[in-house]
A = this chain, B = another copy of it.
Amino acid sequence: MGSAFVPAQDGAAVSGDDLAGVIASVRGSGPLVHCLTNVVVSQFTANVLLAVGAAPAMVHSAEEAGALARVAGGVLVNLGTVTSVTAAAMRVAVKEAAGGGRPWVLDPVAVGPLPWRTGLAHELLESAPPAVVRGNPSEILALDGGAGGRGVDSTDVPEAALDAATGLARRYGCVVAVSGPEDVLTDGARVVRVANGHPLLPLVTGTGCALGALVAACVAVTGDALVAAAAATGLLTVAAEVAAVRSAGPGTFAVALIDELYALSPERLAGAVNLR
């Protein structure tokens, strides 16, 4: 009772082999990932999904989003450039995903300082619990009722949002993944941290949003959403480390990142990911 914070376990809650299994399964089965995402990152998101073997489908209309969500392997709802038109599609998609037993992932971009989308995020969460919520620390704090940041960038570190993440995870029975220099993920009981990545990652638009899409691809192939979110996080951040080696700046890095997501084997991921 009270502030029931669950500390990290001595051994990591998930293993590199767990992650490798998820990525092998994504590459092997090519899950259909229905993305209701923002217009800034749509191309990059689709290319990231294709690189890892998933099949992206971007359908944004209320007339169609439900039919697709009902048959998709996973559904991503990203609030980045939501308007009244796409919000209607998101409502339908979440409802039909739930009706069809399909996992959905919420990326609450810029929730906090913008009241309209904050209300929409809560409305979606209440309509059907997501498998995973992925955001930066400010967004997770705001979603839990705290003060928000100024938008898509975040001034807080993930660890500062762990209490909020745990609260959200327990309220909705979902996993919450908080992105940052060291990602922190929890299902409300277990906590896992992924200490990979590179400073160029936040200098490329859509890397966080693409992580949300990767999570949606991973929850399509495993019932353990914490392992799925950790697998997506490990894959993106390890690929980023490899890509950075052959990059001259954020332009070449974004291109190399797609190459490395395509090339990274499950075995190499298991060896390189730094979990705790």
Contacts and interface: CB of A to CB of B under 8 A. Distances in A.
Nearest to A258: B251
A83 interface: yes
A262 interface: yes
A252 B255 contact: yes
Contact of A50 (B39, B204, B252): B204
Interface stretch (A12-20, A57-65, A139-147, A169-177): A57-65
Interface in A171-197: none
Given A43-B44, A44-B43, A251 B61 contact: no
Contact of A151 (B55, B82, B114, B202): B55
B81 A83 contact: no
A251 B51 contact: yes
A262 B114 contact: no
A84 interface: yes
A71 B152 CA distance: 14
A43 B41 contact: yes
Contact of A257 (B89, B251, B254, B262): B251
A89 B84 CA distance: 11
A116 B68 CA distance: 12
A151 B57 contact: yes
A21 interface: no
Contacts of A43: 40-44, 205-206
A56 B205 contact: yes
A8 interface: no
B249 A116 contact: no
A102 interface: no
A174 to B, nearest CB: 25
A47 B251 contact: yes
A150 to B, nearest CB: 6
B58 A39 contact: yes
A248 interface: yes
A259 B263 contact: no
16 contacts: A40-B58, A41-B43, A43-B43, A47-B254, A51-B249, A55-B152, A57-B152, A59-B114, A60-B81, A61-B83, A64-B116, A67-B114, A250-B259, A251-B257, A252-B259, A254-B255
Given A61-B82, A68-B113, A248-B263, 8 more contacts: A32-B150, A39-B58, A39-B60, A51-B203, A61-B81, A67-B113, A249-B263, A250-B258
Interface of A: 32, 38-44, 46-47, 50-51, 55-64, 67-68, 71, 80-86, 89, 110, 113-117, 150-153, 202-206, 248-252, 254-260, 262-263
